[in-house]
Amino acid sequence: MDLVQTLGQYVPAVWTQTTAEIDAEIREELEFHLDMRTEENIRAGMAPALARRDAQERFGDFESSHRACRKITLGPRLALRRLQTALLALLIGVVVYQAVVLARVQQANQSQIESLKNTIDQLQAAQVSPSNERAPVPSWHWDPGLPTESLTSTLVPTVPEDWGTAPGVLDRPWCDWQALDEPPGEH
Amino acid sequence: MPAKNQNKKAELLQGTLDMLILKTLAAGKLHGYAVARQIQQASNEALVVEEGSLYPALHRMERRGWIEHEWGLSESNRRAKYYQLTAAGRKQLTTEKQRWNRFVEAIAIVMNPSLPEA
């Protein structure tokens, strides 16, 4: 006994039959009605063509009735299909969103990696020069590899020549230095 | 508002049709065509079932669990779908009968106010 037969014992037919099978059964049932009415009309003395037409007129819109039966019978299945469609759409939305976020993160990581690589390259280029010459170093930059005699020029910021203290100011005691902030003539 | 009036009519007919189908199937299992013929014959052809609306009603009642179907052979030896009442259907028939009786009594009181209440 296959799975469908096993399920059929416990599950209503609407869940185990295909949509095409349900469609065919509904059509067969309605056709049976039309045929029965036609036969009865013929037995009553009508010509076959007239008997069929009378049966169809009494029945009304065959396709409309078929659609209504189909909608009622497949109702739970159609509801489930709508739920499946909604869940699938939600799943696709989540996957697309995650893909976009992942692409953005990767892009940001890539740019950070590039930036770090550039920094590392610059630092390496600054420390090791192919011609054994040192790259220019900012005057404030401490470089323990430089000879001692160059420390002065490397450690002390370069000050413009016209900068400087007024003559004799530094000879005065430190406690008088605050007087520098006072207007002249007050001390 | 024509649409609203049409809906009211349809609801009334639908409720009546369900009760008539339940009553007809209480006698035993029948296919759709036989249900329609039985209703017409039992009412001395006064009630004509709208055949196109009979089948949606049968399918709806089956979905509600009032009736169930099985395929069998008709009197003309053709495959036919036979319906029969379930336990829920019998209970529903009792409910429908009571509701119908109350409805008829209420209409009778309105139409014949001089009659004493039952």
Residue A134 — pLDDT band, cuts 50, 70, 90?
low
Nearest to A59 among B52, B59, B78 (CB): B52
The answer to whether position A100 is within a domain reads: yes
Are A58 and A90 part of one and the same domain? no
Nearest to A69 among B36, B55, B80 (CB): B55
| Distance (Å) from the alpha carbon of B51 to chain A's nearest alpha carbon | 5
Cα–Cα distance for residue pair A165/B80, rounded to 1 Å: 118
pLDDT in tens, chain B (118 residues): 444 444 443 444 556 899 999 999 999 999 999 999 999 899 888 888 888 889 999 999 999 999 999 999 998 899 999 999 999 999 999 999 999 999 889 989 999 887 665 5
Are A51 and A30 part of one and the same domain? yes
Domain boundary among A125, A144, A160: A125
Cα–Cα distance for residue pair B50/B13, rounded to 1 Å: 10
CB contact under 8 A, B56 and A39: no
- Assigned token pair, B77: 């030896």
Are A59 and A88 part of one and the same domain? no
Average pLDDT over residues A117-123: 90
Are A63 and A14 part of one and the same domain? yes
| Distance (Å) from the alpha carbon of A100 to chain B's nearest alpha carbon | 45
Q: Enter the CATH code of domain B2-111.
A: 1.10.10.10
Note down the domain range covering A61: 10-73
Taking contacts as CB-CB distances below 8 angstroms, the residues of chain A near B31 are: 29, 32
The answer to whether position A43 is within a domain reads: yes
**Is the CB of residue A13 less than 8 Å from the CB of residue A4?**
no
Domain locations in chain B?
2-111
Predicted-complex ipTM score: 0.81
Are A39 and A58 part of one and the same domain? yes
Number of domains observed in the structure of chain A: 2
Are A56 and A21 part of one and the same domain? yes
Cα–Cα distance for residue pair A84/A90, rounded to 1 Å: 10
| Distance (Å) from the alpha carbon of B47 to chain A's nearest alpha carbon | 14
Are A50 and A87 part of one and the same domain? no
